[in-house]
Amino acid sequence: MRQFRSAAALFRPRSIAIVGASESGGAGWPRAIYQNLEHAGFPAALYLVNPNRTELWGRPVYPNLSAISAPVDLALVIVPAEASAAVLADAAAHKVKCALLYAARFGEGGDDAGAARARAVAALCARTGLRVSGPNCMGSLSLRERLLFYPAPRVRGLPAGPLGVVFQSGGTFQYWLQQAATRGLGFSYAVSSGNEIDLDLADYVNFLVEDDATRAIACMVEGVRRPDAFMAAARGALAAGKPVLVVKIGRSEQGRASTQSHTGALAGDDAVFDAMCARHGVIRCATLDDLIDTALAFMPGRLPNGNRVAMAGVSGGAKGLFLDYAAEAGLTFAKLSPETLSAVAALIDPGVKPDNPLDTGASVANRPEVFGKVCRAMADDPAVDIIAMQGQLPLAPDEPANPTPFVHVAGAGKPVLAYGRLAQNVTDVGRAFQTRTGVPFLQGLPETARALRALIDYAQRTRRGIAVLPAPAGKPENLAGDALDATLAAYALPPPRSVRVSKLEECGRAAARIGFPVALKIVSPDALHKTEIGGVALNLASADAVTAEAARMTERLRAEHPSARIDGFLIQEMVSGVELLAGVREDPQYGPVMVVGLGGVLVEALGDVALRLLPIDEAEARDMLDSLRARAVLAEFRGRPARDVVAICRAIAGLSRFYLDHRTWLADLEINPLVALADGVRAVDVRMVERR
Amino acid sequence: MRQFRSAAALFRPRSIAIVGASESGGAGWPRAIYQNLEHAGFPAALYLVNPNRTELWGRPVYPNLSAISAPVDLALVIVPAEASAAVLADAAAHKVKCALLYAARFGEGGDDAGAARARAVAALCARTGLRVSGPNCMGSLSLRERLLFYPAPRVRGLPAGPLGVVFQSGGTFQYWLQQAATRGLGFSYAVSSGNEIDLDLADYVNFLVEDDATRAIACMVEGVRRPDAFMAAARGALAAGKPVLVVKIGRSEQGRASTQSHTGALAGDDAVFDAMCARHGVIRCATLDDLIDTALAFMPGRLPNGNRVAMAGVSGGAKGLFLDYAAEAGLTFAKLSPETLSAVAALIDPGVKPDNPLDTGASVANRPEVFGKVCRAMADDPAVDIIAMQGQLPLAPDEPANPTPFVHVAGAGKPVLAYGRLAQNVTDVGRAFQTRTGVPFLQGLPETARALRALIDYAQRTRRGIAVLPAPAGKPENLAGDALDATLAAYALPPPRSVRVSKLEECGRAAARIGFPVALKIVSPDALHKTEIGGVALNLASADAVTAEAARMTERLRAEHPSARIDGFLIQEMVSGVELLAGVREDPQYGPVMVVGLGGVLVEALGDVALRLLPIDEAEARDMLDSLRARAVLAEFRGRPARDVVAICRAIAGLSRFYLDHRTWLADLEINPLVALADGVRAVDVRMVERR
**What is the share, in percent, of chain A residues with pLDDT greater than 70?**
96
Fold type of domain A8-243+281-294:
Rossmann fold (3.40.50)
Average pLDDT over residues B458-463: 97
Distance CA A105, CA B349 (A): 10
Residue type at A98?
C
Report the 3 state secondary structure along B539-552: EECCHHHHHHHHHH
Q: Where are the alpha helices (DSSP H) in B466-562?
A: 481-490, 507-514, 543-560
Most confident range, picked from A262-266, A454-458, A486-490, B494-498: A454-458
- pLDDT for residue A176: 97
Render B154-189 in DSSP notation, one character per residue.
Answer: GGGGPPEEEEEEEES-HHHHHHHHHHHHHTT--EEE
Spacing of C-alpha B189 from chain mean position: 23
Residue A318 with chain B: CB contacts under 8 Å: 169, 171-172
Instruction: Please check the confidence at residue A639 and state whether its pLDDT lies above 80.
Output: no
Query: How far does the CA of residue B286 sit from the closest CA of chain A (Å)?
Result: 9
> Is B168 touching A (CB cutoff 8 A)?
yes
Q: Rounded mean pLDDT of B366-378?
A: 95
The reply to whether B194 touches chain A by the CB within 8 Å rule is: no
Mean pLDDT for A365-391 is 96
d(CA A130, CA A122) in angstroms, rounded, equals 10
Cα of B494 to nearest chain A Cα, Å: 25
Between A563 and B193, the more confident residue is B193
Q: Which of residues 419 through 478 in chain A touch B, CB cutoff 8 A? A: 421-427, 443-446
A135 at B interface, C-beta within 8 A:
no
- Write the single-letter amino acid at B24: S
B611-670 residues touching A, CB cutoff 8 A: 629-633, 637-638
B303: phi > 0 → left, psi -120 to 50 → alpha, else beta; which?
beta
Do the Cβ atoms of B327 and A251 come within 8 Å? yes
Q: From the centroid of its chain, how far is CA A256?
A: 16
Of A323, A425, A630, the CB nearest to B426: A425
Query: Which candidate, B81, B75, B76, B80, places its Cα nearest to that of B118?
Result: B81
- Asked if residue A197 has pLDDT above 90, the reply is yes
Cβ-based neighbour number of residue B395 at 10 Å: 19
What is the arithmetic mean of pLDDT over B130-142?
A: 96
If you average pLDDT over residues B269-285, what whole number do you get? 95
Q: Which of A562-566, B345-349, B532-536, B623-627 has the lowest mean pLDDT?
A: B532-536
Q: Do A365 and B323 touch (CB under 8 A)?
A: no
Average pLDDT over residues A70-85: 96
- Side chain identity, residue A546: V
- Residues 476-535 of chain A with CB under 8 A from chain B are none
Residue of B31, B173, B254 to mutate, interface with A, max A Cβ within 10 Å: B254
Architecture of domain B578-690: 2-Layer Sandwich (3.30)
Are B338 and B377 within 8 A, CB to CB? no
Instruction: Report whether A634 contacts A643 (CB < 8 A).
Output: yes
For residue A179, how many other CB atoms are within 10 A of its CB? 22
The pLDDT of residue A95: 97
Query: A249: which DSSP letter?
Result: S
Of A175, A259, A425, the CB nearest to B320: A259
Interface of B with A in 319-338 (CB under 8 A): 319-321, 323-324, 326-328
Q: Give the number of residues written for chain B.
A: 692
Mean pLDDT, chain B, whole residue set: 92
User: Contacts of residue A401 in chain B, CB cutoff 8 Å?
Assistant: none
Interchain proximity B323–A630, CB inside 8 Å: no
Same fold, B497-573 and B578-690: no
CA distance A221 to chain B (A): 9
Cross-chain CB nearest to B630 (options A222, A605, A637): A605
Closest by Cβ to A318, choosing from B138, B169, B601: B169
CB atoms within 10 A of CB B70: 9
The average pLDDT across B60-79 equals 97
pLDDT in tens, B648-688: 999 999 999 999 999 988 999 999 889 999 999 999 889 99
- Write phi, then psi, for B332 (nearest 5 degrees): -115, 130
Say which residues have a Cβ less than 8 Å from residue A578's Cβ, sequence separation at least 6: A598, A633, A634, A643, A675, A676
Q: Is A314 in the B-facing interface, judged by CB distances under 8 Å?
A: yes
Cβ within 8 Å, pair A27-B351: no
Please give the CATH topology (third level) of the domain spanning A301-464: Rossmann fold (3.40.50)
The reported pLDDT for the residue numbered B124 is: 97
Residue A20, chain B, CB below 8 Å: the answer is no
Q: How far is B634 from chain A (nearest CA, A)?
A: 10
Name the pairing type of β-strands A416-420 and A441-443. parallel
CA distance A391 to A403: 10
ipTM: 0.91
Percent of chain A with pLDDT over 90: 74
Which phi and psi (to 5°) does residue A55 adopt?
-150, 140
pLDDT band at B221 (very low <50, low <70, confident <90, very high): very high
Domain A497-573, what fold?
Dna Ligase; domain 1 (3.30.1490)
Contacts (Cβ under 8 Å, ≥6 apart) of B582: B594, B595, B596, B651, B652, B655, B670, B671, B672, B674
Question: What string of DSSP letters covers B95-130?
Answer: T-SEEEE----SSTTS-HHHHHHHHHHHHHHHHH--
Residue B636 one-letter amino acid: E
- Note the pLDDT of residue B411: 97
Q: What is the pTM of this model?
A: 0.92
For A313-326, give one letter per residue: b (16+ CB within 10 A) or e.
bbbbbbbbbbbbbb
* pLDDT reported for residue A1: 47
Nearest Cβ partner for A443 among B423, B602, B608: B423
What is the pLDDT averaged over residues A340-347? 96
Contact between A313 and A359 (Cβ < 8 Å):
yes
Q: What is the mean pLDDT of chain A?
A: 92
Band (B1; pLDDT cuts 50, 70, 90): very low
pLDDT at B262: 61
Interface contact flag, A426 B425, Cβ < 8 Å: yes
Nearest-Cα residue of chain B relative to residue A362: B171
Q: Which one of B167, B172, B603, B604 would you mutate to disrupt binding with A, by most A Cβ within 10 Å of its Cβ? A: B172
The arithmetic mean of pLDDT across residues A388-404, rounded, is 92
Picking from A253, A177, A164, the residue whose alpha carbon sits closest to that of residue A213 is: A164
pLDDT at A304: 98
Instruction: Average the pLDDT over A333-356 and give the result.
Output: 93
How does DSSP assign A419-433, residue by residue? Answer: EESS-----HHHHHH
pLDDT tens readout for residues B172-194:
999 999 999 999 999 999 999 99
Q: Which of B195, B180, B175, B188 is nearest to B119 (CA)?
A: B195
With CA atoms as reference, report the closest residue to A498 among A518, A479, A523, A471: A518
Measure the CA–CA gap between B503 and A435, rounded to whole angstroms.
93
Calculate mean pLDDT across residues B398-414.
94
Is residue B549 over pLDDT 90?
no
Q: Which residue of A has its CA nearest to B447?
A: A287
Confidence of residue B316 (pLDDT cuts 50, 70, 90): confident
* Cβ separation A422–B292 shorter than 8 A: yes
In this predicted structure, the answer to whether residue B544 has a pLDDT above a threshold of 70 is: yes
Instruction: Check whether the bond before A397 is cis (ω within 30° of 0).
Output: no
Asked if B443's CB is within 8 angstroms of A328's CB, the reply is no
Cis peptide bond N-terminal to A673, omega within 30: yes
Nearest residue of A to residue B634, measured between CA atoms: A605
Render pLDDT for A676-692 as a digit per residue (tens, 0 to 9): 999 999 998 899 998 88
pLDDT in tens, B581-621: 999 999 999 999 999 998 666 777 777 899 999 999 999 99
Q: Does the CB of B351 have a partner CB in chain A at under 8 Å?
A: yes
- At residue B66, does pLDDT exceed 50? yes
Spatial distance between the Cα atoms of A411 and A253, rounded to a whole number of angstroms: 47
Q: Which residue has the higher pLDDT, A373 or A692?
A: A373
Q: For residues B144 and B396, which has the higher predicted lDDT (pLDDT)?
A: B144
| Residues A233/A184, Cβ–Cβ less than 8 Å | no
Which residues of chain A are within 8 Å of residue B428 when distances are taken between CB atoms?
Answer: none
Region B49-70: mean pLDDT is 96
Q: B552-590, pLDDT tens digit by residue?
A: 888 888 888 888 888 999 999 988 888 999 999 999 999
B8 interface with A at CB cutoff 8 Å: no
Domain parsing of chain B, residue ranges: 8-243+281-294, 301-464, 497-573, 578-690
Give the C-alpha separation, A141 to A204, whole Å. Answer: 13
A259 has a chain B CB within 8 A of its CB: yes
Report yes or no: B298 and B452 within 8 Å, Cβ to Cβ: no
Predicted pLDDT of residue A464: 92
Least confident of A112-126, B404-418, B437-451, B522-536: B522-536
- The residues facing A132 across adjacent strands are A99
Residue B161 is predicted with a pLDDT of: 98
Contacts 24+ apart (CB under 8 A), B59-63: B61/B21, B62/B17
Record: contact A179-B258, CB cut-off 8 A? no
